[in-house]
Amino acid sequence: MTQTPDALVTEFCKKWASPDAAELAGYFTEDGIYHNIPMDPVQGPQAIAEFIAGFTAAFDGIDFQVHKQVSGGNIVMNERTDVMRRKDGGEIALPVMGVFEVVHGKIARWSDYFDMETVTKAFA
């Protein structure tokens, strides 16, 4: 039996604790879109893997602390804090709202909404 969209997103979020860019990109459809709303969207598993690899290079992992998650049909939304564990031992906590669209057991679109100023200050 195929996973429910809710279970798929829960599993996907847990994988970020020890991120493997290719494995994470494998959760997406061939034309899947990953969009951090303050930035340009990334489309397709190869481009998504490259983006994830570049983004996670400075981190040991990212713990998605999901506070609330709701789903209906093929849509899953979660409110969470992404705790990015830096290789230098520091941490960055980023409040995030995520929206996932799941089609045939894969993520077709993932949009994350967050305050870019929080990210900019953390990397300054």
Per-residue pLDDT of the chain (124 residues; tens, 9 = 90+): 579 999 999 999 999 999 999 999 999 999 999 999 989 999 999 999 999 999 899 899 999 999 999 999 999 999 999 999 999 999 999 999 999 999 999 999 999 999 998 888 777 6
What CATH number should be reported for the domain holding residue 95? 3.10.450.50
Alpha helices in the chain (DSSP H): 5-15, 21-25, 45-56, 116-122
pLDDT attached to residue 115? 93
pLDDT attached to residue 119? 80
pLDDT attached to residue 62? 97
Ramachandran angles phi, psi of 47, nearest 5°: -65, -35
Number of domains, the chain:
1
Is the overall model pTM greater than 0.85, yes or no? yes
Which residues span the domain enclosing 58? 5-122
β-bridge mates for residue 54, sequence order: none
